[in-house]
Structure 1
Amino acid sequence: MSDYVTVARDGAIAVITLDNPPVNALSHHLREPLFKALEAARDDAAVEGIVIACAGRTFISGADITEFGTPKALASPSLPELCALLESLPKPAVAAIHGTALGGGLELALACHYRVADKGAKVGLPEVKLGLLPGAGGTVRLPRLVGPEKAVAMIVSGNPINASAALEAGVVDAIAAGDLTADAIAFAKARVADGGPHVPVRDRDDKIAPARADLSGFEAAVKEATRKTRGLEAPLACATAVRNAVTLPFDEALKKERELFIGLVNGVQSRAQRHLFFAEREAAKVPGVSKEVQPRAVKKVGVIGAGTMGGGIAMSFVNGGYPVTILEMSDEALDRGFATIDKNYGISVSRGSLSEEAKAERMGRFSRTTNYADLADCDLIIEAVFEEMGVKKEVFGRLDAIAKPGAILASNTSYLDVDEIAASTGRPQDVVGLHFFSPANVMRLLEIVRGDKTAPDVLLTALTVARKIGKVPVVVGVCHGFVGNRMLGARSAEGEDLLLEGASPEQIDKVFADFGWPMGPFAMGDLAGLDIGWRNRKSLGKTAAIGDALCEAGRFGQKTGKGFYLYEQGSRKPIPDPEVAKLIEEKARERGVNRRDISDDEITERTLYPMINEGARILEEKIAARPSDIDIVWTNGYGFPIGKGGPMFWADTEGLRKIVERLEYWHGKTGKDVFKPAALLKQMAEDGGSFSGRPAA
């Protein structure tokens, strides 16, 4: 029928094959011929059943999100029209699912009478991760197959399930034993032979009737599913749509679902999350790394340091399938490190996310040593030692002596000059920064720090390995703190002054929480340990009146039960402490500061606006290749709310002119460089430009 849809016959079964590389997205140029093929099969008396299959590596992966916001997105035939046609067919329609059936792909399959999956298939409705809900009947049909409680958990999480779980839940009707298409054809023939009735999903009621009689179980499932989605609109809209599927007639619930979808797709949060979706893919494109460059082979990894960071890094690689050798200075240090690793895996086992067999397999991939020579056969060696240049250079000097030619030598530095570290070796082209975030086995972000002499194939290898171990990699340049920590320094610069001038830790933290951060800077400081910043300040000859005083009093945060807040035994809940308020007032008096009421807007202007300003400076200096790379760093490594799209995307929605005006105001008032507007930021504000619309460097 077209380049994208072909029809073949196997007896009385019409086999409609979709072929829209690379992932069979439901673009308009696919929907149109598919609709015509379904109409033709419906009207052909010789056709008694239909199988919808896909060429290539996967079933329909979802909608074509590049069409969002364009006329093609809603052009007829739309996906809802396709689903309505499928559901109205008087002959059985079977979806043959391989690879992934996600989003609109699963919605199309749900409109079929039956679904047969390959044993390696995965199905899901991940629209929530783009700030959306399934807009073609997913929230109304899925509850009729799996029950509303299971449906709301699947839709709000957006996480796919495998074929066996899909069969158990009722999403699919059979798993192919051999060739998928052949088995789907056989399944269709059997259903034709049965003579029906072939009940469409829309008319199935048995899985939602109990919830219709008593919603309490469903509401409990909603509460659990949305527990960690504070501030995001899409998860709540998803829950509303599933509730509608239970309480409203099918067609009315379908109409409400579409209204909710349109509202979300036109909203700021979905635009922000779609921005991040494309930004993550754009970050893989690194200037100077051509398509001809090939990654180096990495078969074995070495990690120096078995502490919190080193152990977490080692776990990340083991989880990704790599054998890892951990080096420490003593057997005692190794014992402590491996005890922590074993405990962490044990927690996963107790939660049911890891089996005892899988734990044993992962622990078996570790080896331990106190001898640098045992790292000689590693393809990638990462140091996670103390953050001090002399220590780092000593480690790299020793690695230079024992590492095999072509081995990649990486530093997990958070701030230090990777070029200076590389210069301590005779192979600076093989040196790269790999800045993991703590806990390294959990946090997704990996800043790949490109030194002046880092080879292109080393960068490509780092990107490839990062994705294999489940990280979101972003290549950044060399400067103090790189992208994330450098901007964090700008965000934190006014923290103590805000306290001295009249704000409280709880007020500032509330402003951050209301913005959408998981926690505010003072609660975060208590969680991380205030002594870390204290030691760092002392090493740099710097002071912080309040932070230093707290540490001198032994108040290091949660681990001591006292920091900026009080913590009851066994609790992580921060409790405001009158002693801290008293300390702040004393320090203000010592410095002759007249305290006053500080507005929430002022807190935002003096914390988040300098952060945006520093981001603009980073772009000027080409430390980051593009604004969206900065957004990926901050949403994946620092808790910037995904519903706001990252700091540079949010700056556009806040208004660049407004940000520049307020920065200039505070610069005039304080004289501090952190408020002096970056040239790029000023120029963009004057020209009416935007970070999210700015082309890649």
Structure 2
Amino acid sequence: MTYKRLSFEIKDKKAFVGFGYNCDKAMTVLDEETLKELQDIVEDLHSKEKELDGAIFFSHKDRCFLAGADINLFDTMHTAADGQAGAEAGQTIFNRLEDLKMPTVACVNGVCLGGGLEFALSCKSIIVSDDKSTGLGLPEVKLGLIPGFGGTYRLPKKVGLPTALDMILTGKNLNAKKAKKVGIADEIYAKERLLDLAPKHFKKKADKRSMMDKVQDAATDNVFTKKIIFQKARESVLKKTKGFYQAPLKILDVMEGGVMKGRASYLTTEAQAFGELCIGEQSKNLRHIFFLMEGSKKMDDAKGVGRSLKRGACLGAGTMGGGIAWLMAKNDMFPIMKDLNQHGLELGLKQASSNFSGAVKRKRMSKDDFERKMRSISAQTDYRGFEHTDLVIEAVVENMDIKKKVFAETETKVRPDTILTSNTSSLSIQEMSKALEDSSRFAGLHFFNPVHMMPLVEIIKHDNVSDETVESLYNWVVKTKKTPVVVNDGPGFLVNRILMPYMNEAGFLLEEGVSIKDIDDACLNFGMPMGPFRLLDEVGIDVGDKVSKIIFDGLGARLASNGIGKQMLEKEFLGKKNSKGFYLYDEKGKVTGPNDEAWKMLPKASKKMSETEIQMRIFLPMINEAATTLEDKIVAKAKDVDLGLIFGIGFPPFRGGLLRYADTQGIARLKEEMLKFADSVDKDRYTPCELINKLASDNGKFYEL
């Protein structure tokens, strides 16, 4: 029998089954046709059990064994019964694979995720390559799902309950070394030798895990201990997710409830849970974000003119410059970090060192690599070596005249093809470009602070920027594993412009007599990572005040500021940077409690408002402003807004993004609420923009534009 998606060959009494056969895609997935062919092959293997010494499964793709089930299949499941049936179909195939009496070996080289790992777990043995691309995990929880092909049943049996829970509830990936250590992989080989050495594993080897691992397995293999493990896991999940995410709690319910069940009964429960989650709004939103992220890895309308940026430099050190230098060093750019004085350079090196040290503590980097990366950063007060750079990122003080002067000087120190960028958070890129003789190679490149934690980078265009510059920057941002969003120049660009109503409206509510606690709690309970006052402390109250003035000057009355910031600055309450803002902070930057001095100075809490009303007051102006960014062509599509807010300010992913949330709520309904607040609160801040009016009258959606 011949197959389109899988190769099947019998040689020397060994069956070789290869995924990704005749597939032109980089990643091999379990789509409907592949699953059907796999089912036929497994049944064929059952019929040939007496003739074969064993079966070896591998991939024709160099860096991918199996990337899991085809996520597009989930959108074809319209009811919980559809989802359950889909999961049960996969379970049936994997059960038949597991039930083969002959030895079966999964030869994993590259990505082995989700259904791919569930498939491998159904084999008698798993061997992995030492290639850096090799990674094994069950990331379904990140899509709002439970592994549906038997992963929650088989993984605990392979690695023990604590390790399995850690992997399934976090969706983390394990490299080859870690996979062997926890017991998923039996052995690690060079990728070129996997198939040749696979027959060695036809005879199951003894468990090579450490005695400590075996003792731990024995200690956890009783009902009482498992109850404690699940209790602790549930507490951890609730602490991390605040109960917003359904999938991890459903996973715990299935795994805990299945402790005493046999395979058939357990897998039925797993499939039922998959079906319920698959059709839920939360999983749909998280899958939507997955596709947005995948789409962001390639620039829309790219012309193929981008070039590689290999050497980098940062103008201005300090915290931000040090973070940018760290990113460049991490990506082997041997960066130059230039500042006017030694003190700034020391702060920059301290920041870079702190970022790398965190990776060492988490065992993601060796001490030798730490030393090598830090040595690759050249900290200096002059322009030595700038003639060799491909990319220069400016991160000096937020002053237009100073920035123009710096660029005019830098342009004479670099090659004609060196790309020059500014990390400004609010100043006009169009105006800044006037300082350069050749502005076509200049753009904004706005990182969010802290650089090592915030994934978003705004690439800001101006009238004369070249396609080559924008594409080169886009490709470089993707290469550094950040998420790029291309925006046109305008006050606040994209994220800060939409963020301003979030912080502004909180101040207006405070002036009306709503308490800081009620406002912050309402936003936290909506799913935001921090309330507006806590966020303002993080940004810096002085920085927020400066940016708000720039945005108000550019956009007018709807972005008018409240008077809270001015009151705070008069008392030198700057936020986290000087440990005193709306909250107090310790030496490590952790909140120690409210700043009573500030709270007593601010308007007294005299008004009780429902949580829902607070949320509507704060998020409706954000939706309205997001719509104006589309009207003003700051960004091209709704997806750009949602990517920017999810990765720039942590807008709750389970809601799918600000504009997807608006679509699900109904634009017409939101318009009605805006009009009510325009009458009762403020006309300028709540009057719907033209795009909102149009979508409401046409029963349209942002994602249909």
The 5 A counterparts of 1:459-474 are 459-474=470-485
Q: In structure 1, what is the Cα distance between the partners aligned to 2:548 and 2:288?
A: 37
CA contact (8 A) 2:462 2:488 kept: yes
CA contact (8 A) 2:487 2:634 kept: yes
Q: Cα–Cα, structure 1 residues 571 and 247, in superposed 2: closer, same or farther, change >3 Å? A: farther
Structure 2 residue aligned with 1:12: 13
Match of 1:63 among 60, 69, 75: 69
Match of 1:51 among 50, 56, 60: 56
Q: Cα–Cα, structure 1 residues 457 and 297, in superposed 2: closer, same or farther, change >3 Å? A: same
Structure 2 residue aligned with 1:198: none
Structure 2 residue aligned with 1:572: 590
Question: Which amino acid is the alignment partner of residue 73 of structure 2?
Answer: E
Q: In structure 1, what is the Cα distance between the partners aligned to 2:19 and 2:361?
A: 44
CA contact (8 A) 2:65 2:109 kept: yes
**1:143 Cα deviation from its structure 2 partner:** 0.5
Whether 1:499 and 2:517 are equivalent positions in the alignment is no
Instruction: Give the structure-2-normalised TM-score.
Output: 0.90
Structure 2 residue aligned with 1:457: 468
Structure 2 residue aligned with 1:94: 105
Whether 1:107 and 2:133 are equivalent positions in the alignment is no
Question: Which amino acid is the alignment partner of residue 229 of structure 1?
Answer: T
Task: Flag structure 2 segments of 5+ consecutive residues without an equivalent.
Answer: 206-215, 554-559
**1:344 Cα deviation from its structure 2 partner:** 4.0
**1:508 Cα deviation from its structure 2 partner:** 0.4
Residue deviations 1:647-678 (CA, integer Å, cap 9, x gap): 11111222211211111122233443331212
Residue deviations 1:144-201 (CA, integer Å, cap 9, x gap): 011110011111121211112111111122223563452354235545xx9xxxxxxx
Structure 2 residue aligned with 1:26: 30
Structure 2 residue aligned with 1:199: none
Q: In structure 2, what is the Cα distance between the partners aligned to 1:576 and 1:343?
A: 28
Structure 1 residue aligned with 2:695: 684
Structure 2 residue aligned with 1:201: none
Match of 2:314 among 292, 296, 303: 303
Deviates more, 1:51-60 or 1:103-112: 51-60
Task: Flag structure 1 segments of 5+ consecutive residues without an equivalent.
Answer: 195-204, 589-594
Structure 1 residue aligned with 2:439: 428
Deviates more, 1:617-626 or 1:146-155: 617-626
The 5 A counterparts of 1:626-645 are 626-645=637-656
Match of 2:90 among 79, 82, 88: 79
Question: Which amino acid is the alignment partner of residue 251 of structure 2?
Answer: C
Q: In structure 1, what is the Cα distance between the partners aligned to 2:38 and 2:361?
A: 48
Deviates more, 1:516-525 or 1:174-183: 174-183
Q: Cα–Cα, structure 1 residues 559 and 158, in superposed 2: closer, same or farther, change >3 Å? A: same
Deviates more, 1:564-573 or 1:395-404: 564-573
Deviates more, 1:222-231 or 1:465-474: 222-231
**1:609 Cα deviation from its structure 2 partner:** 0.8
Question: Which amino acid is the alignment partner of residue 169 of structure 1?
Answer: V
Q: In structure 2, what is the Cα distance between the partners aligned to 1:277 and 1:90?
A: 39
The 5 A counterparts of 1:577-656 are 579-585=597-603, 596-656=607-667
Q: Cα–Cα, structure 1 residues 638 and 47, in superposed 2: closer, same or farther, change >3 Å? A: same
Structure 1 residue aligned with 2:187: 174
Structure 2 residue aligned with 1:42: 46
Q: In structure 1, what is the Cα distance between the partners aligned to 2:508 and 2:496?
A: 20
Q: Cα–Cα, structure 1 residues 537 and 112, in superposed 2: closer, same or farther, change >3 Å? A: closer
The 5 A counterparts of 1:76-155 are 78-120=89-131, 121-155=134-168
Deviates more, 1:459-468 or 1:267-276: 459-468
Match of 1:228 among 233, 236, 240: 240
CA contact (8 A) 1:392 1:421 kept: yes
Residue deviations 1:461-489 (CA, integer Å, cap 9, x gap): 11221122221111111111111001011
Q: Cα–Cα, structure 1 residues 649 and 324, in superposed 2: closer, same or farther, change >3 Å? A: same
CA contact (8 A) 1:13 1:189 kept: no
Deviates more, 1:573-582 or 1:414-423: 573-582
Question: Which amino acid is the alignment partner of residue 249 of structure 2?
Answer: L
CA contact (8 A) 1:327 1:370 kept: yes
Query: SS at the partner of 2:336?
Result: strand
**1:556 Cα deviation from its structure 2 partner:** 2.6
Seq. identity, %: 32
Q: In structure 2, what is the Cα distance between the partners aligned to 1:559 and 1:393?
A: 27
Q: Cα–Cα, structure 1 residues 535 and 451, in superposed 2: closer, same or farther, change >3 Å? A: closer
Structure 1 residue aligned with 2:254: 241
Structure 1 residue aligned with 2:406: 395
Query: SS at the partner of 2:695?
Result: helix
Question: Which amino acid is the alignment partner of residue 28 of structure 1?
Answer: E
Q: In structure 1, what is the Cα distance between the partners aligned to 2:435 and 2:586?
A: 48
Q: In structure 1, what is the Cα distance between the partners aligned to 2:86 and 2:147?
A: 18
Match of 2:178 among 165, 173, 184: 165
Q: In structure 2, what is the Cα distance between the partners aligned to 1:173 and 1:218?
A: 27
Structure 2 residue aligned with 1:363: 374
**1:131 Cα deviation from its structure 2 partner:** 1.3
**1:365 Cα deviation from its structure 2 partner:** 1.0
Query: SS at the partner of 1:246?
Result: coil
Paired residues in the alignment total: 674
Q: In structure 2, what is the Cα distance between the partners aligned to 1:24 and 1:603?
A: 47
Residue deviations 1:312-343 (CA, integer Å, cap 9, x gap): 11111111221100110122322332234334
Q: In structure 2, what is the Cα distance between the partners aligned to 1:54 and 1:532?
A: 52
Q: In structure 1, what is the Cα distance between the partners aligned to 2:532 and 2:647?
A: 17
Q: In structure 2, what is the Cα distance between the partners aligned to 1:153 and 1:377?
A: 46
Question: Which amino acid is the alignment partner of residue 319 of structure 1?
Answer: K
The 5 A counterparts of 1:501-516 are 501-516=512-527
Q: Cα–Cα, structure 1 residues 571 and 404, in superposed 2: closer, same or farther, change >3 Å? A: closer
CA contact (8 A) 2:107 2:195 kept: no
Q: Cα–Cα, structure 1 residues 574 and 455, in superposed 2: closer, same or farther, change >3 Å? A: same
Question: Which amino acid is the alignment partner of residue 173 of structure 1?
Answer: D
CA contact (8 A) 2:7 2:19 kept: yes
Deviates more, 1:295-304 or 1:526-535: 526-535
Q: In structure 1, what is the Cα distance between the partners aligned to 2:592 and 2:410?
A: 44
Structure 1 residue aligned with 2:212: none
Query: SS at the partner of 2:660?
Result: helix
**1:53 Cα deviation from its structure 2 partner:** 1.6
Instruction: Give the structure-1-normalised TM-score.
Output: 0.91
Question: Which amino acid is the alignment partner of residue 565 of structure 1?
Answer: Y
The 5 A counterparts of 1:207-356 are 210-215=221-226, 216-224=228-236, 227-230=239-242, 231-290=244-303, 293-356=304-367
Q: In structure 2, what is the Cα distance between the partners aligned to 1:150 and 1:229?
A: 19
Structure 2 residue aligned with 1:592: none
Deviates more, 1:139-148 or 1:4-13: 4-13
CA contact (8 A) 2:314 2:392 kept: yes
Q: Cα–Cα, structure 1 residues 412 and 626, in superposed 2: closer, same or farther, change >3 Å? A: same
